[in-house]
Amino acid sequence: MFPLALLCLSLLPLSCLSSPEITPPSPENIVADQLARAWNELRKFQDAPRGSEVPGMSRIKQYLGKFGYFPAGDSSNFSDTYDENLEASLRSYQSKLGLPVTGSLDRSTLVQMVAPRCGVHDNHGSGSGWSGLPRRYAYFPGRPRWMPGRTQLAYWVSPTDTTDYLTIDDIRQVVGRAFAKWSAAIPIDFMETRYLEDADIRIEFYEGDHGDGEPFDGVLGVLAHAFSPENGRLHLDRAETWAVDFKSQKSKVAVDLESVALHEIGHLLGLGHSSVRDAVMYPSLLPRTRKTELTADDVEGVQSLYGSNPNFDPASLQTVGQSVDSDAPPA
């Protein structure tokens, strides 16, 4: 199973790979060639009428099934027909991702499917937040959390399952910043350990099939995944071009390590995906984009599980959007 960007690339004829096609529309202002080519293939599905049959439509069903939207079943039997199950799945997907709920393969939905994202599925529960209004953050089924009374968790960054272009010190520094931001909101301290046997949480880079049943898929597909409490595993796709600083990492497919680490730590704490586009826990992240500040939605979600850090000031929260690197090379 692959994210749709790579699913679509597998369908492209060689002539399409070299043709000067358009790039995805806003908000994808900075995109890699891979995303542009995937978008060009997806355009054939745009506004397809219900009941129609379009070659490759089964790949969209596979994508929706991967992330928790399509009815369970044998994905090899998915048809290329735009049936009622696909329409219902699209409505659920659009609602969860904060898109107009049309049940159609419209432009905004197809653009969202192309975006690189977290590998954790989106089908988590909802309810009410602080205000009593419907909340947009979510939890894993059963609301798992770390055992009550735990005020400290130890994390370990693998010195061997890593990348060959980032130093271990750079990775540790970035991961430490990400943990500190969650710790500022809840009464849990995160301490690094150099010994795996002492760790509650382990952070590793892997590529392809790495033995957890969730294989990675290469550049700009699934970026990372993490497991619910108290599993403690956080895996990042080594095939990505990870950046700790966009000024030194000029690749147009570079992915911000701190943004992804911050998101995956939310999963380690028990949060699912949010439908708030600016939230850290929103499932997708574009290349050369930073989301390194928790939003009110993120904080409300995690504090509903663990309570508030006594030193946390809710007034310090702002509406925080994505930061796109202004020095990015042209797509």
Q: Is position 256 annotated in a ligand binding site?
A: no
Q: Is position 240 annotated in a ligand binding site?
A: yes
In a 10 Å sphere around its CB, with 0-12 CB exposed, 13-18 middle and 19+ buried, how is residue 134 labelled?
A: exposed
Distance CA 170, CA 104 (A): 44
Catalytic residue among 28, 41, 264, 300: 264
Q: Is position 230 annotated in a ligand binding site?
A: no
For 264, phi then psi, to 5°, come to -70, -30
The verdict on whether 214 is a catalytic residue reads no
Q: Is position 273 annotated in a ligand binding site?
A: yes
Residue 96 Cα distances to 6, 29, 67, 118, 135, angstroms: 22, 23, 11, 14, 11
Closest to 194 (Cα-Cα) out of 229, 177, 169: 169
Return the structure tokens found at 214. 């969730």
Residue 88 Cα distances to 50, 57, 67, 91, 97, angstroms: 11, 15, 14, 5, 14
Q: Is position 121 annotated in a ligand binding site?
A: no
Q: Is position 212 annotated in a ligand binding site?
A: yes
Q: Is position 217 annotated in a ligand binding site?
A: yes
Contacts of 190 (CB under 8 A, 6+ apart): 152, 153, 154, 155, 179, 180, 182, 183, 201
Q: Is position 281 annotated in a ligand binding site?
A: yes
With contact defined as beta carbons under 8 Å apart, do 24 and 111 qualify? yes
Q: Is position 200 annotated in a ligand binding site?
A: yes
Q: Is position 132 annotated in a ligand binding site?
A: no
Active-site positions read 264
Annotated binding site for Ca(2+): 200, 217-218, 237, 240
Annotated binding site for Zn(2+): 118, 210, 212, 225, 235, 263, 267, 273, 281
